[in-house]
Amino acid sequence: MTTFLVMDGNNLLYRIIKGKTYPKLTTSSGIPTGGVYGFLQSAHKLYAGLFPDYGIVVFDGGISSRRKALYPAYKEYVADPDQEDVREEFYTQKNFISVILGGLGIPTIEFAGREADDVILHIVHYLTKLEAGFTKIVVVSEDMDLCQCIQCSIPGKCEVELHRPVRDLVLDRRNLDEHLGYPQQYYKWYKSLVGKTREFDGIPGIGKKTAIALINEAHEKGKTLFELVSGRKGKRYDTLTAQINKFYIGLAVGDLFLEEFTEDERDIIFTAIRATGMTASQWQEDVKVMAHTLELHSIVSEWASWTKPFMDATRR
């Protein structure tokens, strides 16, 4: 089995910083390092537990212009002093993480104006079609939007899994329906109906239970949502019928498969994929020096054993 690991850098790093698991970690000069330490330890745990042959990290580079055009309120900026502190910590530590992981054979990708979810889906879709012997692709993120990657699975050839580390949950094409409560191909319906914070408001009066019931009924009857609710009496059905266009906008906003990439972006992605696992002894020394500079003492003191899972991957 050949495993490719794709980590959602933004999702993982923000959760580490917001979770305040390592809130007091700083260098003697005051540089915050809690996010760096937490991310590196998470990557180490993934490599030690999943034994991937290749790995890559994807960071957000901005907000999708396609989604903003469809829904102007999408990820609209709202001033929040607490969030500004988190953002500052994030960007301070993200660059350190990219350099250290690169030295461990794990490249990072970030495109201006591109969201990590879209890049990850593009990578997964490409890898499942690639005749390179990948039998498993593991996406690591708490963001359920990335369950759409599971649709790229090719039974008997290449399986895609979504690992949600905080919940210690692994989702794949076999258990996703049960987890969602409806057939997985309707995830975008669900998101469009109930909405998602900072992304899409959803349809007023439609909660989670109602959305799931509507989806399952539509699936069983082989109907579109519009066909299902047309003519039904009740405030929620009237509202949904009146806002059916908004529902379809929500579908497009939430669909990761609709984002298109330029030829140059594809070349960069494919170059990064080919570069995964490549490392050299001098890079190792550079990484160790940076870890020492950031005063990550527990990692530096066990350097040989700590780097072993990453080095094993480069030799497979």
In the chain, the DSSP E strands lie at 3-8, 54-58, 108-109, 136-140, 159-164, 169-171
> Does one domain contain both 146 and 208?
no
Any alpha helices (H) in 105-146, and if so which ranges?
116-129
> Does one domain contain both 296 and 208?
no
Residue finishing a domain among 254, 275, 299: 254
316 occurs within a structural domain = no
Length of the chain: 316
pLDDT per residue of the chain (316 residues) written in tens, 0 to 9: 789 999 999 999 999 988 867 767 899 999 999 999 999 999 999 999 999 999 999 999 999 999 999 999 999 988 777 778 888 889 889 999 999 998 888 999 999 999 999 999 999 999 998 766 789 999 999 999 999 999 999 999 999 999 999 899 999 999 999 999 999 999 999 999 999 999 999 999 899 999 999 999 999 999 999 999 988 888 888 989 999 999 999 999 999 999 999 999 999 998 888 888 776 556 778 889 999 999 999 999 999 999 999 888 766 6
pLDDT at position 132? 66
Number of domains forming the structure of the chain: 2
Question: Nearest CA to 8 among 48, 39, 29?
Answer: 39
> Does one domain contain both 56 and 194?
no
Please give the residue range of the domain that contains residue 233. 184-254
Across 46-71, b (16+ Cβ under 10 Å) vs e yields: bbeebebbbbbbbbbeeebebbeebb
Structure tokens at 270: 């494919």
Question: Quick one: residue 181, left, alpha or beta (phi over 0 = left, psi -120 to 50 = alpha)?
Answer: left
> Does one domain contain both 43 and 124?
yes
Residue finishing a domain among 210, 228, 254: 254
Structure tokens at 256: 């990761």
Q: What's 288's domain CATH number?
A: 3.40.50.1010
12 occurs within a structural domain = yes
315 occurs within a structural domain = no
Cβ 152 vs Cβ 124: under 8 Å: yes
Half-sphere exposure of 96 toward its Cβ, with a 13 Å CA cutoff? 25
> Does one domain contain both 283 and 154?
yes
> Does one domain contain both 155 and 88?
yes
How does DSSP assign 181-211, residue by residue? TS-GGGHHHHHHHH-BTTTB---TT--HHHH
